[in-house]
Copies of this chain bind each other. A is one copy, B any other.
């Protein structure tokens, strides 16, 4: 039957975490949103960075494959994982027809105990808006990758957009998958409590506010933030001292 054709079925993972860097001994560590990339060892795109991922096997679902690959890359299981979308453009892989499902994983990086694979590396993400388009900067300790993304409105009513990466230094269509994942993350941060998946079990309100701010790329009002978030937190009687300033109470996500 002509309707069954031969294609590869793969998954691409957007593994997001929070990175903290101490700049000033008196100030809070500067936080960044980060993503895990791996260096390709084979053609095509040999030596270029790409998203972790791989083939989905005959006896597993895309989610099972993604869980397996996530475990391999980070050592973690029981992690937040959600489908972003299917990518099935005809020429997205020069080797032939490859249908990929992108998944977003949000992890608490403090839980990673093992060494990363030698080919894997965390990149900090900076996303800035330039007259309704975007500029993404990915920074590791060794290098910086920067690219512009053009945003096109597909349906204004539904806030449906398509994104096109200009000057792609990553592999395949992964530059596009990253921006799509970031937009999905932003949207979910605005409408759910998904950020808590990026936080350790205990954290301070100041740290939580920082994470909201880097994902949404805007400053939040301190008192309003505390007011709104308070319902969703259990404030423990533990106090943490983190620098040249008043110590803070540790909090925990309340859930139900």
Copies of this polypeptide in the complex? 2
Distance in angstroms from A115 CB to nearest chain B CB is 27
A158 touches B90 (CB 8 A): no
Binds B, one of A53-61, A140-148, A165-173, A217-225: A53-61
Binds B, one of A19-27, A191-199, A203-211: A191-199
Q: How large is the interface on A (under 10, 10 to 19, 20 to 34, 35 or more residues)?
A: 35 or more
A233 touches B (CB below 8 Å) = no
B residues less than 8 Å from A101 (CB atoms): 86, 88
Contact of A158 among B9, B85, B89, B194 (CB under 8 A): B194
Closest residue to A101 on the B side, CB-wise? B86
Closest residue to A199 on the B side, CB-wise? B157
Q: How far is the CA of A56 from the CA of B86 in the complex (A)?
A: 13
B residues less than 8 Å from A160 (CB atoms): 80, 82
Closest residue to A253 on the B side, CB-wise? B157
B80 touches A155 (CB 8 A): yes
Closest residue to A96 on the B side, CB-wise? B4
Query: A58-B5, A90-B61 given as contacts; is B158 within 8 A of A197 (CB)?
Result: yes
Closest residue to A187 on the B side, CB-wise? B191
Q: How far is the CA of A90 from the CA of B83 in the complex (A)?
A: 17
B residues less than 8 Å from A7 (CB atoms): 4, 7, 9
Query: A158-B193, A191-B191, A197-B157 given as contacts; is B62 within 8 A of A86 (CB)?
Result: yes
A117 touches B (CB below 8 Å) = no
Closest residue to A256 on the B side, CB-wise? B156
Q: How far is the CA of A55 from the CA of B82 in the complex (A)?
A: 25
* Apart from A61-B88, A156-B255: 6 A-B pairs, beta carbons within 8 A: A4-B7, A5-B58, A62-B86, A82-B160, A83-B85, A158-B188
Per-residue interface assignment for chain A, residues 153 to 164, with 1 indicating a CB less than 8 Å from any chain B CB and 0 otherwise:
001111110000
Distance in angstroms from A107 CB to nearest chain B CB is 13
Distance in angstroms from A27 CB to nearest chain B CB is 28
Distance in angstroms from A94 CB to nearest chain B CB is 15
A176 touches B (CB below 8 Å) = no
Most B CB atoms within 10 A — which of A3, A187, A195, A256? A3
